Structure 1
Amino acid sequence: MTGLIVIFDFDKTIVDCDTDNWVVDGLGATALFEELLPTMPWNSLMDRMMSELHSQGKTIEDIAECLRTAPLHPRIISSIKTAHALGCELRVVSDANHFFIETILRHHGLFEYFSEINTNQSFIDEDGKLRIQPYHDFNSASHGCSNPCPPNMCKGLIIKRIQDSMLSSGEKRIIYLGDGKGDYCPSLRLAEGDFMMPRKNYPVWELITSNPLLLKAEIHKWSDAEEFEKVLLKLINIVLSADKKTPDLLSMDWKFPTVSKLRHGAFPLVLQLAYDINGSELESLFERFIKVAESKKVKNVNSSDRIASTVERVARKHIKGIHNSRDGNTNRQIQSYNSE
């Protein structure tokens, strides 16, 4: 492990929507939702809406199928996979609910990448109805936070618990990504050396920019999936480079537009292996393979996978210490691919 924890909000951060609204709108319950919204807290309202949908004959599978259509950009998926491959511990801190989050992550093959999901609890009762309960029981007592946190969840307190656990586990730094007002409190909890990634022009961005000196963490904004990926991987590389005293590989401008021409899912292992290879050699290696790809006008998955797997094999040979014949091995691999 890298000693780095990456913590993600979920709605409008991992998925580009509010999952509560996505389900309510997708299953045709918007009018009732808007009618009841002024009368009860959000968590209580969502629990009520699940009961209403059940009474209308909507099943758990109907809800799950709606969730599977929630927008999750491929660049977000590849970012999560790459961060995990590089040894980061990944966690979710979200005011959605466990059923919604788990359903979406499993649909995209991402659930097992996360070590912890902190969110409102959910369960299916004996009638087959989805029930949603608040993370913090605000009817019993307040969580006591004076920041703009909803009554059912203070994400700052969750971050404090994670920070306390880091003291004994050996983890060192946090990257936090979020968009909403509820993500402001955890941003204030981050320490010097941590990184805050607020989504630009969203509520947390407005709160942070109103007085950025309140934060100890470095602030790195993002606005869309491409920036999400580029900024996150750059920050991970900064931490890895500082820990290992290796070249700043992922921040090379040439890599992001070039590698994106190939199939993104094929490269997490290559990026992980990159940290054990001299920076100039890796750059030369990728550039030569990219030239081959462009000359062959790679468009299909099989061809891009072929190139990616070849890069991996050559990278592995470097790590095994075959230093004297690196250039020869690389050239033979390129010649082999060209001849096919």
Structure 2
Amino acid sequence: MHARHCAYQIASKQIFDFTHYNYCFHSKMTNLVQPKRLAAFDFDNTVVFGNTDTVVRELVTPEVPPNVQELVKTEGWTRYMEEIFRLLHEKKITREKILERIRCIREVPGFVRLLKSLHQANFDLIIISDSNSEFIREWTQAHNISNIFTQIFTNPAQFLDNGLLTIKPYHHQTECKLSAENLCKGKILENFIATREVDDFIKYENVVYVGDGTNDICPVMRLSENDVGCARKGYGMKRILEKNKTKLTAKSKLIYWNNGFDLHEQLQEHFKYGDLPDQRFESPTCPV
């Protein structure tokens, strides 16, 4: 019998050596872990050229009442959008009219092709966004990319039978001061990575985070030296990171981008994956 073993016999009874059993189990699980790469994306002003909430808010005419506008300061953006959706319902703005607005938001140039190229290069793709589930589902389905995402994290929303769009916060947190109370993107990213390793035996050897706004700073600050943070030029995340270099120091490589084409070039140079797909992607038909 080998000196080291996971079980042994004493007086014809099977006795487990749990210390070595744990060693054997850990070794087996380590062998099962698959190394992969992860790319996480914000949605508004990152994937789509605009903000899904403000595009829909424009349907409120003539203007948003002051008492509703005040909710942004007193109760936060999600509560504010809840009232915006109620106003739209009162004004008989239909579900189809709202979703048409969402479908017709342009992509950030080259972004659909970028997402498809990363998917083809075996990156797992996720979205972490302060938009909502109805808007992201509608846009990604209309642009034929809903099936390339491993998971989407956002505020849950649904249309009721009477046509009212309802929305709830993704979660409630007060620990992270870089994030809104309803959505800490860094916490979501870390939890997703940990869950994938424990539940699915997938370990991400590289993580890419792509965003534009101030609420995208938190996940970039949690990246490691093996990872890449991507801040869009001309938006809040880049400005704040550059202004606060001593207080907000990222461990990861930082790259700055304008659109999906130049972001692809920089990521391709770093990771050495394939070229952008050659085919054109049809956009949904929208009113002129």
Instruction: Give TM-score scaled by structure 1 length.
Output: 0.65
Summarize the alignment of residues 3-14 of structure 1 with structure 2, pairs less than 5 Å apart. 3-14=36-47
1:187 to 220, 225, 238: 220
1:143 correspondence with 2:174 = yes
Equivalent in the alignment of 1:152: 182
* Structure 1 position 173 matched with structure 2 position 206: yes
Does residue 265 (structure 1) correspond to residue 279 (structure 2)? The answer is yes
Match of 1:211 among 245, 250, 256: 245
**What code does the residue aligned with 1:32 have?**
V
Residue aligned with 1:151, SS? coil
Whether contact under 8 Å (2:114, 2:261) holds in the other structure is no
**1:36 and 2:68 are equivalent in the alignment:** yes
Q: Confirm or deny that 1:93 pairs with 2:123.
A: no
Task: Determine the C-alpha separation between the residues in 1 that align with 2:259 and 2:166.
Answer: 32
Q: Which deviations, in whole Å up to 9, do the C-alpha atoms of 1:237-256 show, x marking residues without a partner? A: 2xx6xxxxxxxx76xxxxxx
CA displacement at 1:191 relative to structure 2: 1.1
Contact 1:183 1:204 (C-alpha < 8 Å) held by counterparts: yes
1:62–1:155 CA distance, 2 compared to 1 (3 A): same
Whether the 8 Å contact between 1:24 and 1:30 is mirrored in structure 2 is no
Corresponding residue to 1:19 among 52, 62, 65 = 52
1:135–1:152 CA contact under 8 A, matched in 2: yes
- 8 Å contact from structure 1 (residues 143, 154) kept in 2: no
CA contact (8 A) 1:166 1:172 kept: no
Task: Give the CA RMSD over aligned residues.
Answer: 2.3
Distance, in Å, in 2 between the alignment partners of 1:37 and 1:227 is 37
Instruction: Report 1:274-313 matches (<5 A).
Output: none
Cα distance change on mapping 1:217 and 1:166 into 2, 3 Å: farther
Gaps of 5+ in 1: 241-248, 251-258, 268-340
Q: Deviations over 1:280-337 (max 9, x none)?
A: xxxxxxxxxxxxxxxxxxxxxxxxxxxxxxxxxxxxxxxxxxxxxxxxxxxxxxxxxx
* Equivalent pair of 2:111/2:259 in contact (CA under 8 Å): no
User: Match of 1:67, SS?
Assistant: helix
Higher helix share: 1
Distance 1:98 1:33 in 2: 26
Distance 1:101 1:116 in 2: 12
2:113 match: 78
Q: Hey, what's the Cα distance between the residues in 1 that align with 2:196 and 2:270?
A: 19
Question: 1:234 deviation in Å?
Answer: 3.0
Separation in 1, partners of 2:41, 2:62: 28
Residue identity opposite 2:121 in structure 1: L
**Residue 59 and residue 265 in structure 1: after superposition, are their counterparts in 2 closer, same or farther (change >3 A)?**
same
Count of residue correspondences: 240
Amino acid at match of 1:97: N
1:33–1:78 distance in 2 versus 1, CA, 3 Å: farther
Letter in 1 for 2:118: A
What is the percentage of aligned positions where both structures have the same residue? 27
Question: What is the CA distance between 1:223 and its match in structure 2?
Answer: 1.9
Greater Cα shift, 51-60 or 111-120:
51-60
Q: Equivalents in 1 of 2:208, 2:62: separation in Å?
A: 35
Contact 2:39/2:124 (8 A) holds in 1: yes
1:160 alignment partner AA: E
Q: Name 1:115's counterpart in structure 2.
A: 150
Structure 2 distance, partners of 1:13, 1:122, is 21
Q: Retained in 2: the 8 A contact 1:83–1:236?
A: no
1:224 paired with 2:259, answer yes
Deviation of 1:64 (Å) = 0.7
- Which residue type is aligned with residue 121 of structure 1? P
Higher RCO (CA 8 Å, separation ≥ 6 residues): 2
Tell me, what secondary structure is at the counterpart of 2:157?
strand
| Cα deviation, residue 47, structure 1 | 1.1
- The 1:222–1:74 alpha-carbon spacing in structure 2 relative to 1, beyond 3 Å, is closer
